[in-house]
Chains A and B, each alone.
Chain A
C-alpha cells in the first residue's frame, strides 16, 4: 500500500506536470503520455438556507505504449482528491470510493481524513493485439456497443449515466474481447466479462456492417441473469442523423414463464449552419416506472445503470443543444423529461478556453419534480471547472 502511494506521488510529480514533448524522440514514437488536471468546486442547494460546498481535484494520466504495429498497452490513471462537506458528513466515504466493482482490483483510497479523501483508480489497463484481420484485447477496457449519444440500449458492458458529466472517460470493464474484421466497416466481435458466478458475468457477440449508407448491428448473448438479443442502426434521413438501438432481455432460468424486458432508444440529430447542434432522443424502458409515487431522484443520480435499465421512467425524452459562440466559447444545454415519474432534469453548461490548454466552465444541474401539487425543486448544483490539459 505504502509502495503504491509512493509510486503514485512519483508519477504525479514526475509525469503529471511534464509534457509529452519532454520524452526523448525515439521513445516518442512508441509512447504517448497525456492527460489533464482539473479543479471542480461545487455548491449544492435545495432551498437557499441549506448550502453544501464540495471540492474536487482530479488528475488524469493516459499512457499508451505502441510496442510495435501489432501490440499496444494502455494504462490510464485517475487520481482524485475530494474535500468538503459531503466528505465530512458521510462516514465511510473513502471506503465507498475505494470499492472496485470490477474483477481486477485497481482502485485504492490512498489517504483519508475527517474532511478529505485521496483516491486513485486505473480505469484502463489492457494489452491489445491487432493483426491483419484479428484484434484481441485483454484487461480493463471500454466496450462501446452503443450507437446513440444519450441512451445506449446495446451498451451491455459499459452503460453510463448521462448525469455523470465529470467522468467523460467513463469507467472500463474487465473483459476479454476478440474482433474479426470482415471489411473496412464491418466486423464480428465476441466479448466476455468474467466474474465469480455466471449470474454476474456477461458473454455476448456483435455483428456490425454498413449497407445503403447505414451502419447496422446485431447483438446477442448471456447478460447476467438474462439472455439478451438486440440490434441497432446509425444512418441519416436527408441531412439529419437517424439512429436507433434496442435490446430484449429474458430471464435464463424462468425462460418460458417470464416476460421480456425491452430497452429501446431512438434519436435524431442535426447540425445547423450557424454551428448549432441539436439532438432529440427517446427511450423506452419496459421495467421503468410510470408513476411518480416511488421515485427517488438520489438513486437515479448516484446509482449505477445498466443497458436494461437506463432510466427510472418508462418513457424518457431528451433534448440537447450544443453550440459554439466562437472557437473558444461553447454552450451546451441538456434537458431530460421522465414521463410518468414527472421529473425534469436540466443541465446548462458554458465552456471557455482561456488560452491554449486552459479552460474554464460553469455547469449547472437542476432537478424539478411534479408531485401532483405542482412542480418542486428538490435540489440544484452549480459547478465551476478549471481545466489544464497536457
Chain B
C-alpha cells in the first residue's frame, strides 16, 4: 500500500481517476454541466445588447434575474424610451410591464420564439437554454480547438416528441471549464441558419465564462447581435417576490 501514500503516486492516481471520470462522461452529462454552469441555482446579470446592421447599430442595457429553470425577470435600463420595461417569465407564461401606463399585459407564448426586441436572438435563446438538455439527444462527434481551447464537439438531434424549431445543433464545449464556445443551428433541411460565437473569457463570481456572445444569422450579411456581460453573479439569494407580477413595477 506504500505506493498510494507516496505523494507523487497519489497525484497520478488522482489524475487517472479524474480523467477516467471525464472520459466516462456522456455527452448528456457534459451538456448538463455546461448548462448548469451558466445557470447556477440562480443568477443575476447586467449586460449590453448591441444590434449590428450594415449601416448602424443600436445598444440596449438590461438587468436579469433568473432562478431555477423556469423563472426569470428582465429589466430594460436603456435607452430612455424603453427604460423601465420589464419582462417576467414563469414557465410558458410571459408578462410585460409597460411603465408609461403602469400596466402589466400578458403576452402570447409565441412571443418566446420571436426575435426579442428586434435583435437576432429569441427569448428562448436568452432564457430557455435548458431545452438543449431536455429536448435533444446528445452525442460526442469529435474534438476540436475553439478560441485556443480544446473542446468536445457535440451533436444534438431533437427527440421525436419535442416541439423545437431546429433540425440539428452542433455545440463546442471547452473540456476544462465547460464553456459553450460555439453553437451552430441547422434547420430541418440541414442548412446552417444561426451561429453563436463566444469569446472574451473572464472570471465572473469565480466562474470562468465568455463575456461576449455573438448571435449571427447566417443568411443576413453584416447583421448580428452582440451580448456583453458586465456583471454576472451566481447562486445569489434572489427573493421570491422578484418573480411576481406585483414586483415588476418596483424592479430597479
The answer to whether B250 and A327 touch across the interface, beta carbons within 8 angstroms, is: no
Proximity bits, B80-119, A CB within 8 Å = 1, else 0: 1101000000111100000011111111111101110111
Q: Is the CB of A273 within 8 A of B83?
A: no
Choose the segment among A1-9, A83-91, A108-116, A239-247 that binds chain B (4+ C-beta atoms closer than 8 Å).
A239-247
Q: Is the CB of B100 within 8 A of A236?
A: no
Q: What's the count of A-B pairs with C-beta under 8 Å?
A: 105
Say whether B80 contacts A389, CB under 8 Å: yes
Name the contact of B81 in the complex, choosing from A240, A270, A357 (C-beta under 8 A): A357
**Which candidate, B2-10, B33-41, B138-146, B241-249, is the interface stretch facing chain A?**
B241-249
Answer whether residue A296 sits at the interface, using C-beta atoms and an 8 A cutoff.
no
* Min CB gap A136→B, angstroms: 13
B102 contacts which of A142, A243, A324, A353 (Cβ < 8 Å)?
A: A142
Report if B188 contacts A (CB, 8 A): no
Interface window among B14-22, B50-58, B196-204: B50-58
Nearest Cβ on chain B to A294's Cβ, whole angstroms: 33
> Are A142 and B101 CB-contacts (below 8 A) given A213-B92, A324-B118, A357-B80?
yes
Secondary structure of the A contact surface, majority rule: strand
Does B240 lie within 8 Å of A327, measured CB to CB?
A: no
- Asked if B79 and A270 sit within 8 Å, CB to CB, the answer is no
Q: Which residues of B contact A327 (CB under 8 A)?
A: 51, 53, 58, 117-119
A144 touches B103 (CB 8 A): yes
Which residue of chain B has the shortest Cβ distance to A187 in the bound complex? B246
Question: At the interface, yes or no: B176 with Cβ under 8 Å from chain A?
Answer: no
User: What 1/0 mask marks residues of chain A from 124 to 159 whose CB sits below 8 Å from any chain B CB?
Assistant: 000000100001000001101011010000000000
Q: Which residues of B contact A210 (CB under 8 A)?
A: 93
Closest to B83 in A: A34
CA distance in complex: A210, B93 (Å): 10
CB neighbours (8 Å) of B240 from chain A are 184
Among B90, B100, B109, point to the contact of A241 (Cβ < 8 A).
Answer: B109
Q: Does A356 contact B (CB under 8 A)?
A: yes
- Is B252 an interface position by the 8 A CB rule? yes
- How far is A144 from B101 in the complex, measured between Cα atoms in Å? 9
Q: Which chain B residues border A326 with CB–CB below 8 Å? A: 53, 118
Closest to B91 in A: A213
Question: Do residues A213 and B93 form an inter-chain contact, with CB atoms below 8 A?
Answer: yes
Q: Which chain B positions have C-beta within 8 A of A387?
A: 81
CB of A280, distance to nearest CB on chain B (Å)? 12
Q: Mark A260-278, 1 if CB is under 8 A from B, else 0.
A: 0000000001111101010
- Interface positions of B from 166 to 219, Cβ below 8 Å from A: none
Chain B nearest Cβ from A26, distance in angstroms: 15
Contact pick for B244, options A34, A184, A270, A389, CB 8 Å = A184
- Which residues from chain B contact A215 at a C-beta distance below 8 Å? 106
Q: Chain B contact residues: over half helix, strand or loop, or mixed?
A: mixed
Chain A residues with CB under 8 Å of B92's CB are 213, 236
1/0 contact string of B213-252 vs chain A (CB within 8 Å): 0000000000000000000000000001101111000101
A359 within 8 A of B: yes
Contact of A184 among B107, B111, B243 (CB under 8 A): B243
B58 and A328: CB pair below 8 A?
A: yes
Task: Give the nearest-CB partner of B247 in chain A.
Answer: A184
B81, A241: Cβ atoms closer than 8 Å: no
Q: Which residues of the partner chain A approach B108 to less than 8 Å between Cβ atoms?
A: 236, 239-241, 269-271
How close is A379's CB to chain B, nearest CB, in angstroms? 27
- Chain A residues whose C-beta falls within 8 Å of the C-beta of B100 in the assembled complex: 168-169
B106 close to A181 (CB less than 8 A): no
Contact A168 B101 (CB under 8 A): yes
B114 contacts which of A234, A273, A359 (Cβ < 8 Å)? A273
The verdict on A390 contacting chain B, using a C-beta distance below 8 Å, is: yes
A234: B residues at CB distance < 8 A: 106
Instruction: Give, as a whole number of angstroms, the nearest-CB distance from A172 to chain B.
Output: 9
- B interface footprint on A312-349 (CB within 8 Å = 1, 0 otherwise): 00000000000010111000000000000000000000
The answer to whether A170 has its CB under 8 Å from any CB of chain B is: yes
Do A236 and B109 touch (CB < 8 A)?
Answer: yes
Interface pairs (29), CB distance under 8 Å: A34-B83, A130-B250, A142-B101, A168-B100, A168-B101, A169-B100, A170-B101, A181-B246, A184-B244, A184-B246, A185-B245, A236-B109, A238-B109, A239-B108, A239-B113, A240-B109, A240-B110, A241-B108, A271-B107, A271-B111, A271-B114, A275-B114, A275-B118, A324-B115, A324-B118, A327-B117, A357-B79, A387-B81, A389-B79
Q: Which residues of B contact A (CB under 8 A)?
A: 51, 53, 56, 58-59, 79-81, 83, 90-93, 100-111, 113-115, 117-119, 240-241, 243-246, 250, 252
19 more CB-based (< 8 A) A-B contacts, given A169-B101, A240-B108, A270-B108: A34-B80, A36-B81, A144-B103, A170-B101, A181-B246, A184-B243, A184-B245, A239-B109, A239-B110, A240-B110, A241-B110, A270-B110, A271-B111, A271-B114, A275-B118, A326-B53, A327-B51, A328-B118, A356-B79
